[in-house]
Amino acid sequence: MTFRNLRLLARLFKRLIALSGAMAFTGCAIPGPSAREDVMDKHAPRQELRLTAGYALSFAEAGDMDGQPVIFVHGTPGDAGAWADYMMNVPKGYRYITLDRPGFGRSGPAGAVTSLTAQANAIAELIRRLGPKPAALVGHSLGGPIIAQAAADHPALVAALVIVAGSLDPAQESVPFIQYVGDTWPLSAILPRSLRNANREVIVLEPQLKALAARLSTLKLPVTIVHGTKDDLVPFANVAFIKTHMTNVTNMDVTVLEGQSHFLPWNSKKQVDAAIMKALAMQKTPSQ
């Protein structure tokens, strides 16, 4: 293996490990992921929804069961526990739901579900299970394009979008050759399920983002965006892309966090909370 390929391999593992280590990144301020998820489970017991795709979707909910649904969608890799702090502090009148996306955590299947459409369909089935109210969707990182896909495919089910460090710009996606190596045996067999499935999601993401980009102008709902200027995993340039392509949303608000990194759900919870409330307030008072 050449020195260049060794460097690419290091970049692959840096990206995957950094994403999976989001909780540990802020470990000085909050408990580790397993501890936080254990605490969350006491407040929001796990439930399962059998999807039409043939596997189970694991989710948890807390708050007012008759309140406004807000669904939290993690990035890649990740699981429902990424949003534990939010589930343990649900504002009055809101119903918070966090899920393990297909291919992660306690949800099936064992392999990766790399289709944005399939991921969006799982969210749509969950919203229908929750009841008659459309849900606000909060998506971090890869969760960003997934919730945008859900809004494009199922507009009647989605009330608002909160995009947190969302990776929607296909021009910002690049897949080094070594990531394909990481998707083949024996290296793929060494990786934990979460990292293996995350790698597969990233490999096929760019063409799906290009297809989604053509549909972003069809979205007619409130959108709030939170992004850090020092995000070295999902570049800040994604904000300009979203603003350029979501031309028909009823309202848009952008929170720019100077000097902040990719891990906003943990290190900028106050700003994410505010973006959620703002998106729902804008739903009630559209500007167009």
41-82 pLDDT, tens per residue? 777 889 999 999 999 999 999 999 999 999 999 999 999 999
Q: Domain containing 170: what range?
A: 3-283
| Average pLDDT over the chain, rounded to an integer | 87
Tell whether 140 is covered by a domain: yes
Tell whether 32 is covered by a domain: yes
Tell whether 159 is covered by a domain: yes
Which pLDDT value is given to residue 44?
Answer: 85
Mean pLDDT of 131-142: 97
pTM over 0.85: yes
Determine phi and psi for 48, rounding to 5 degrees.
Answer: -130, 140
CB atoms within 10 A of CB 113: 22
pLDDT tens sequence across 218-260: 999 999 999 999 999 999 999 999 999 999 999 999 999 999 9
Total domains, the chain: 1
Tell whether 288 is covered by a domain: no
Do residues 26 and 267 touch, judged by C-beta distance below 8 A?
Answer: yes
Which pLDDT value is given to residue 177?
Answer: 63
Mean pLDDT of 162-166: 98
Q: Give the span between the Cα atoms of 99 and 119, in whole angstroms.
A: 11
Find, among 66, 76, 68, 55, the residue nearest to 197 by Cα. 76
Tell whether 24 is covered by a domain: yes
Query: Domain with 207 in it: what CATH number?
Result: 3.40.50.1820
DSSP symbols for 210-269: HHHHTTGGG--SEEEEEEETT-SSS-THHHHHHHHH-TT-SEEEEEEETT--S-HHHH-H
Mean pLDDT of 199-208: 95
Tell whether 114 is covered by a domain: yes
